[in-house]
Amino acid sequence: RARLATMVKVTGKVRPAPGAQPPAPIAAVIVEAPKKPIVADPGVPMRGNSVNNLAWKTAKHRFGATLHLGLHAKPTTWEQKKAERDAFKAMKAREKELIEERNNEKRDARLRSEARKKMREENELKSVKVQKITNTAKIKKMSKKQLA
């Protein structure tokens, strides 16, 4: 607390007051952390280090050289290509069947709901009680609710 009394706050920064003695230095023990090992992909030469000594770039290869290094897929035989193509066509055909099936189900459900709606409207019309009015003077006296 005594130390804080000798400090003066000026423009957001704490500075010692004029004529006050500087605070006593605080004893500190500095321990250096062990350096981190440089981590990169095994078998790939490293091209550069950043400030903190961690690998940040790896060697790049030209496209033709990658074939010899085994980074691209190995060439396939004609039979393998044909088998893959046939499997892909079968998968696409099955996908098309499933989509068609789902569309048919949706269409059938829509038709059923339309039929139910039409049947409901017909039944409502059948159940309506109708009274024949022969005297037209009564129509003029009736309110809109009675006419509806």
Task: Give the residues across from 57 on adjacent strands.
Answer: 48
Do 139 and 133 meet the contact criterion of CB atoms below 8 Å apart? yes
pLDDT tens digits, residue range 15-60?
666 666 666 666 555 556 666 655 555 665 556 666 666 666 666 6
Query: 10: pLDDT confidence band, cut at 50, 70 and 90?
Result: very low
Q: Which two tokens stand for residue 37?
A: 């090992």
Give the pTM: 0.39
Place of tokens 């998968």: 91
Average pLDDT of the residues in 53-78: 68
Distance between CA atoms of residues 49 and 41, nearest Å: 14
pLDDT of residue 71: 58
Return the CA Rg of the chain.
Answer: 44
